[in-house]
Amino acid sequence: MAGMNLGYLAVRSAAAYPDYPAVICGDSVVTYRVFNERVNRAASALRRLGLAKGERVAILSPNRPELLEVLFATWKAGLAAVPMNFRLHRDEVRYILNHSEAKVLVHAGVYQDDLDRIAGDLAATRVTICLDDLAGKERGHPLTALDYRALLDSGDAEEWVEPVDGDDLAWIFYTSGTTGRPKGAMLTHRILLLMALNTCADIYPFGHDDIGLHAAPLSHGSGLYALPLIAKGGTNVILPSSRFDPETVFAAMERHRVTVLPFMAPTMVKRLIESEARTRYDLRSLRCIVYGGAPMYVEDLAAGLKAFGPVFAQVYGQGECPMTVTGLSRHEHDLNRPDRLASAGTARLGVQVRIQDAEGSALAPGSIGEIAVRGDLVMKGYWRDPEATSATIVNGWLRTGDVGYMDEHGYLYILDRTKDMIISGGNNIYPREVEEVLLCHPAIQEVCVFGVPDPEWGEAVKAVVALRPGHAATEAELISFCRNHLASYKKPRSVDFVEELPKNAYGKVLKRDLRARYWDGRTRRV
């Protein structure tokens, strides 16, 4: 079925607003004319590498302007993008590269050492493109290594957008899965175009006069929200540092007259609210803060509304249904309706949402069950994982793995997760990943990992371990052990020691009972 290539979003804005800033980073300003020309050069250079339509281009870098160029170049060339969290451990990077069968990796220079270590284990990747100047430095791997600047110089600025079907793959969004390994949600050109349109309709009406500041990773939510900004000819401001610092954000907001923060985790929002630096900057240009990725407590929202005014818009969703399943608009963030502030809003245009029981039957308003969604925003499936796809999309309904209820007006309230996913600071962490690493430690007999309440991060990773007889280990030692084998944000923030983990009659660890001790007395379990 014919569809529109996402690359046309850049073409349209370059024609309508050629001299308007598309991307700003520090003192660098790139207009839409120049942005589109650079995208064209990168796209033509990618085609000359001999990649077939639909093959994958992986991206590994902290936020920088080139990420948006590479995304649009990939689409214009008829290829699929595989953006990766820049904080992943090299073992996780290796897995995603091999699983996605990415032929090309575009990366920041800071990852060169890690790339040297895993290069011999890469099955499909044959070309690396470094975004930084590494001229004169020895390449420590056998892959064909190119410099991004040279790649652009070799490309052709002439406009060419590869025709695509609406169901052609555009983005593989890797998220944690039930096996403990990341799963790749397949997002098509049609899905992402509909997402951009619905974002403007439901969440925030992005316009040509909007200036968005990307403080969250472009490899995830913030990158998805760059699409409506570019589609409408708005400006994308990118912080030159990957470290989130409230005062740096405020300074950039004042300098560039930022109107919208396109996507932020509640942890980030809370830090902005609590920072005393906020009062030293002129933030009157701000119209909207889009937040999501984890629940936000009502008391924090109330403080935010007092600090910034009625600028908050909540999104609830997952990579399998970008960006949201439901949303709570700015005008619904009403201090006089704390019950609504506790909700995740109502269904987005383009999706149906329901609560269902374990057999997949719809439940009445007020009944607690699993949240399910269907519609054209739902992913095509999981990349190279038909079993996980069939277990997640049943009779056309995407099983989110979250538990909640809907009131009689269609407002969704999230209570818990059927899957044991931990969301800490907006990052998804699957306990089994951490457990498998800890079980490699010689002193550990058994372990159970889950999320516990944390006032800053929403949830923090807790490990409860039983040691082998005659062995010893400290909390600091085990946290350090995890840091050496996982992305730092996945490591436990605390470790409790027990003689034996509680189990049922069949020998299964009673994780829910362990977890309940730390959530006792709270209305929310996430």
Give the model's pLDDT for residue 324.
Answer: 86
Rounded-to-integer distance, Cα 222 and Cα 89, Å: 21
Element (H, E) at 253: helix 246-256
Q: How many CA atoms lie within 13 A of 74 on its CB side?
A: 28
In whole numbers, what is the pLDDT of the chain averaged over residues? 92
Q: How do residues 220-230 score in pLDDT, each as one tens digit?
A: 999 999 999 99
Q: Could you tell me if 396 and 477 lie in one domain?
A: no
Grouping H, G, I as helix, E, B as strand and the rest as coil, residue 119 is helix
- The answer to whether 28 and 211 are in contact (CB under 8 A) is no
Q: Is residue 417 part of a domain?
A: no
Residues 6+ apart with CB under 8 A from 482: 434, 437, 438, 490, 491, 492
Confidence of residue 106 (pLDDT cuts 50, 70, 90): very high
Q: Could you tell me if 450 and 484 lie in one domain?
A: yes
Give the model's pLDDT for residue 432.
Answer: 79
The CATH number that applies at residue 85 is: 3.40.50.12780
Last residue of a domain, one of 366, 400, 434: 400
Q: Could you tell me if 447 and 385 lie in one domain?
A: no
Confidence of residue 179 (pLDDT cuts 50, 70, 90): very low
Last residue of a domain, one of 368, 400, 432: 400
- Tokens of residue 422, six digits: 């931990």
Give the model's pLDDT for residue 507.
Answer: 61
* Percent of the chain scoring above 90 in pLDDT: 79
Give the model's pLDDT for residue 300.
Answer: 87
Give the model's pLDDT for residue 526.
Answer: 58
Confidence of residue 177 (pLDDT cuts 50, 70, 90): very low
How much is the average pLDDT of 192-204?
95
Rounded-to-integer distance, Cα 347 and Cα 377, Å: 12
Range 228-231 contact pairs with CB under 8 angstroms and sequence separation of 24 or more = 228/196, 228/197, 228/199, 228/200, 229/262, 230/9, 230/10, 230/13, 230/22, 230/68, 230/72, 231/9, 231/12, 231/13, 231/196, 231/200, 231/206
- Tokens of residue 47, six digits: 């085609």
Sheet holding 458-467, edge to edge: 444-454, 458-467, 494-497
- Please spell the DSSP secondary structure of 433-502, one letter per residue: HHHHHHTTSTTEEEEEEEEEEETTTEEEEEEEEEEPTT----HHHHHHHHHTTS-GGGS-SEEEE-SS--
Q: Could you tell me if 391 and 266 lie in one domain?
A: yes
Q: Could you tell me if 311 and 390 lie in one domain?
A: yes
Q: Is the predicted pLDDT of residue 505 greater than 60, yes or no?
A: no
Q: Is residue 329 part of a domain?
A: yes
Q: Is residue 507 part of a domain?
A: yes
How much is the average pLDDT of 268-291?
95
Give the model's pLDDT for residue 178.
Answer: 40
Range of the domain at 431: 422-519
Q: Could you tell me if 428 and 346 lie in one domain?
A: no
Give the model's pLDDT for residue 525.
Answer: 57
How much is the average pLDDT of 173-193?
84
Q: Could you tell me if 308 and 437 lie in one domain?
A: no
Rounded-to-integer distance, Cα 521 and Cα 347, Å: 29
Q: How do residues 88-99 score in pLDDT, each as one tens digit?
A: 999 999 999 999
- Rounded to two decimals, what is the model's pTM? 0.87
Q: Is residue 407 part of a domain?
A: no
Q: Is the predicted pLDDT of residue 497 greater than 60, yes or no?
A: yes
Confidence of residue 211 (pLDDT cuts 50, 70, 90): very high
Question: In this structure, how many other beta carbons lie within 10 angstroms of the beta carbon of residue 71?
Answer: 28
Q: How do residues 43-76 score in pLDDT, each as one tens digit?
A: 999 999 999 999 999 999 999 999 999 999 999 9
Higher-confidence residue of 469 and 429: namely 469
Continuous H helices in 24-64: 32-48
Give the model's pLDDT for residue 429.
Answer: 85
Q: Is the predicted pLDDT of residue 206 greater than 70, yes or no?
A: yes
What Å distances lie between residue 238 and 67, 261, 381, CA to CA?
10, 11, 31
Q: Could you tell me if 142 and 257 lie in one domain?
A: yes
How much is the average pLDDT of 303-324?
94
Q: Is residue 416 part of a domain?
A: no
Q: Could you tell me if 286 and 229 lie in one domain?
A: yes
Rounded-to-integer distance, Cα 33 and Cα 27, Å: 18
Q: How do residues 337-388 score in pLDDT, each as one tens digit?
A: 988 998 999 999 989 999 999 999 999 999 989 999 999 999 999 999 999 9
Give the model's pLDDT for residue 140.
Answer: 66
Q: Is the predicted pLDDT of residue 133 greater than 90, yes or no?
A: no
Q: Is residue 524 part of a domain?
A: no
Output the CA angle 77-78-81, nearest 5 degrees.
90
- The answer to whether 182 and 384 are in contact (CB under 8 A) is no
Q: Could you tell me if 388 and 454 lie in one domain?
A: no
Q: Could you tell me if 79 and 202 lie in one domain?
A: yes
Q: Could you tell me if 387 and 439 lie in one domain?
A: no
Based on the structure, what is the number of domains in the chain? Answer: 2
Q: Is 164 left (phi over 0), alpha (psi -120 to 50) or beta?
A: beta
Q: Is residue 406 part of a domain?
A: no
Q: Is residue 506 part of a domain?
A: yes
* Main-chain phi, psi angles of 498, to 5 degrees: -135, 160
The CATH number that applies at residue 449 is: 3.30.300.30
